[in-house]
Amino acid sequence: MISRFYPRACQRYVSLPLFGPIIEEFAEWLKKKGYQDSTIKHKLSFAPHVEAFFAERSTRRLEDLTYGDFEN
C-alpha cells in the first residue's frame, strides 16, 4: 500500500528505523477503518518527521516509547 501512495519514496518509508517495520500495517489499518486514500497519504507523510523527532531523543525501538513521549 505504501508503494501506491509513494511509488518513488516507498523505500524511504519502509526503511525508517522505528516506523518502517509497521508502516505498511498502519496504512492497511487506516484503510480498514474507512479512511480515504487522501487522508491515509496525509497521515503517512508525517512518519519521517515523527521518526526524526524521536531520533533526536535517541529513541531506537518502538518498545521504548511511552505515552509521555507523545505529550510534548
Instruction: Please give the DSSP secondary-structure letter assigned to residue 63.
Output: G
Digit-coded pLDDT (tens) for 2-12: 888 889 989 99
Tell me the C-alpha distance between 16 and 5, whole Å.
Answer: 16
Closest CA to 51 of 28, 8, 22, 29: 22
Confidence of residue 71 (pLDDT cuts 50, 70, 90): confident
The C-alpha angle 67, 71, 39, rounded to 5 degrees, equals 90
17-70 pLDDT, tens digit each: 999 999 999 999 999 999 999 999 999 999 999 999 988 888 888 888 888 887
Q: What band does 72 get if pLDDT is binned at 50, 70 and 90?
A: low
Eight-class DSSP state of 9: T
Note if the pTM is more than 0.75.
Answer: yes
The answer to whether 47 and 16 are in contact (CB under 8 A) is: yes
The residue assigned the cell 496504512 is 27
